[in-house]
Amino acid sequence: MTGVASPPDPGSERSTDLGRSGRGSGAGGAVPTGRTRRDPWHRWLAATVALVVALAAVLVWWGSEAILSSTDGNLLRTVDDPAQPGFEALVEPTPVLAVIGLDGDGALASVSLLSLTGSGAGAVIVAPPGTLVPGDGAGRPTLADVWASDGGVGVRRELGGILNVGIGEDRVVDPGQWASLLGPVAPLAVDNADVFVAESAGGDTLRLPAGEVELEPTEVPVYLGPSSTGESELARLIRLERFWASWITAVGDGVAVPGIVPGEASTGLGRFMRALAGVEVELAALPVVPVERPDGGEDFEPVGDEVAALVSRLVPFPVGATPNSRLRVRILDGTGQLDNGLPAAPDLVSAGAEVATVGNATRFDYVVTQFIVPPGVETVRVEVMRDRLGVGEVIASAESASAVDVTVVLGADAVDRLGGPYLPPTTSEGAADGG
């Protein structure tokens, strides 16, 4: 099951050995360091500490069990078999990385989001630097404007807002770093879509024909920047997509070679490139429409519904870009035919869900899908999810829930809608208490 992690063992405990010390008296006598009948408080202290540690361990265990297994306030047994009622597993968020490329002048040349979508799959989403960031009214800045004012942190934040995806890390790559990163695979063979002409920061002209070309690392920042022929920025995205395709392929061809991606292999860009090189990768451009500026140029407005659908496919388990920007959702299969509720995740994510757990309800005879909403959660946001899924009813619950905002129990009405039945999985990477 993609993105499922087992909860930590709450039963661990640790003891500390407190050392003892003695001091010499001013008269040359020694203060006894051992315990005597005249200091019984040591025994009471040790007993008290042991009792506190034991109580703390019990409370931690009980709290973890309550959070993971409560459904309307009831504690339920742990179920390890994903085919059985009551099974539940935590969902690990999809790993994502923002890559922010600069041209020779230090301006924003490219914006990409790398996603490790799941087992055997990955994705790269590219966006124009002229993409307008979320906001109201005229004069909204673009990603390029945000780079100029707030740097990489700002671009990562605003890209996350556009996608409604929490982006945990970014990598800013300037021309010198491109040269270092691409050195092991140089020259890079790229299928160039059209004739490309542009000037470098030093005034040199780069001319490339349509078709397969070989790029030197020093040419890549120019190639990813604007052309001198007045092309649309959307044409630039095609070059960016083909660059990623070529680099990922080159890394895959030499993935066994140490240093094929300079730097750390288990974190950051090195981790993502090695992972993408071994899976099927989908390349996609951010869905946008051009918006004319007063000076005659173009900015680009993200198309909300299309962006949400793209994210649900390529970042299947996102976290919200900001607190409460997505509702945390628990999906339970109430039929035994819907693969722990996973088929419902894309629709719910596209409607603003952050999937926290998936699993099975405590019984498999649900007829109607239920969206169970505790106090304090905006019902209108849940109704959007219900409408996107196309089945079910929204039910208000009197019980508060600290771990999730909404529990979705899939009923028989969801089986046809989601294309079931599905064979239940035979193995599990992690289990928690079921609901």
Last residue of a domain, one of 290, 314, 338: 314
Kindly state the tokens that stand for 255.
């993935």
pLDDT band per the 50, 70, 90 thresholds, residue 57: very low
Q: Which residues pair with 357 in a beta bridge?
A: 90, 330
The confidence score (pLDDT) of residue 210 equals: 95
Quick: pLDDT tens for 132-159. 999 887 789 999 999 999 999 999 999 9
Q: Say if residue 100 is in the same domain as residue 219.
A: yes
Instruction: List pLDDT tens digits, range 268-300.
Output: 999 999 999 999 999 999 999 999 988 888 999
Q: Which of 344, 171, 367 is nearest to 263 (CA)?
A: 171
The residue type found at 387 is D
Does the global pTM surpass 0.85? no
Q: 200 and 264: one domain?
A: yes
Which of 348, 349, 333, 352 has the alpha carbon at shortest distance from 420? 333
Whole-number Å distance between alpha carbons of 196 and 198: 7
Burial class (CB in 10 A: 0-12, 13-18, 19+), 262: middle
Asked whether residue 285 falls in the same domain as residue 232, the answer is: yes
Higher-scoring residue by pLDDT: 306, 73: 306
Question: What confidence score (pLDDT) does residue 422 get?
Answer: 56
Segment 408-417, tens digit of pLDDT: 999 999 999 9
Q: Is residue 64 situated within a structural domain?
A: no
Place of tokens 């050195």: 183
**pLDDT of 125 higher than 60:** yes
Q: Are residues 162 and 212 in the same domain?
A: yes
The verdict on residue 72 lying in a domain is: no
Say yes or no: 202 and 224 in one domain: yes
> Per the domain annotation, does 329 fall within a domain?
yes
Average pLDDT score over residue span 374-389: 96
Residues 6+ apart with CB under 8 A from 301: 132, 288, 289, 290, 291
**What is the average pLDDT value for the chain, to the nearest integer?**
82
Q: Are residues 256 and 233 in the same domain?
A: yes
Burial profile 216-243: b = 16 or more Cβ within 10 angstroms, e = fewer:
ebbbbbbbbbbbeeebebeebbbbbbbb
- Do 296 and 336 sit in the same domain of this protein? no
pLDDT tens for residues 352-375? Answer: 999 999 999 999 999 999 999 999
> Mean pLDDT throughout 19-28?
34
379 falls within a domain = yes
Would you state the pLDDT for residue 80? 87
Question: Which one has a higher pLDDT value, 48 or 119?
Answer: 119
Higher pLDDT, 272 or 230: 272
Looking at the chain, the whole-number percentage of residues with pLDDT higher than 90 is: 67
Same domain, 371 and 279: no
Question: Are 218 and 135 in a shared domain?
Answer: yes
Query: What's the CATH code of the domain at 287?
Result: 3.40.630.190
Expressed as residue numbers, the domain containing 412 is 88-93+318-418
Determine the pLDDT at residue 420: 62
Reply yes or no on whether the pLDDT at 1 is more than 50.
no
Single-letter code of the amino acid located at 406: V
224 and 259 inside one domain: yes
Mean per-residue pLDDT, 310-322: 97
Q: Residue 220 half-sphere exposure, CB side, CA atoms within 13 Å?
A: 30
pLDDT of residue 264: 87
* Whole-number pLDDT of residue 421: 59
pLDDT reading at 423 higher than 60:
no
The pLDDT value given to residue 78: 57
Residues 241 and 105 in one domain: yes
Q: What Cα–Cα distance (Å) separates residue 328 from each residue in 91, 114, 401?
A: 11, 23, 11
- First CA to last CA distance, the chain: 19
SS3 assignment, position 320: coil
Number of domains, the chain: 2
Q: What percent of the chain has pLDDT over 70?
A: 78
For range 87-114, the mean pLDDT: 96
| Cα–chain center distance at 229 | 38
Q: Is residue 61 part of a domain?
A: no
pLDDT value of residue 349:
98
Residue 99 pLDDT > 80, yes or no?
yes
Residue 66 lies in a domain: no
User: Which of 314, 348, 366 is where one domain is finished?
Assistant: 314
Output DSSP code: residue 317: S
Q: pLDDT grade, residue 48 (50/70/90)?
A: very low
User: Using one digit for the tens of pLDDT, what is the confidence trace for 197-213?
Assistant: 998 878 889 999 999 99
pLDDT digits (tens, 9 = 90+) for 158-195: 999 999 999 999 999 999 999 999 999 999 999 999 99
289 and 370 co-located in one domain: no
Q: What average pLDDT score do residues 15-36 get?
A: 32
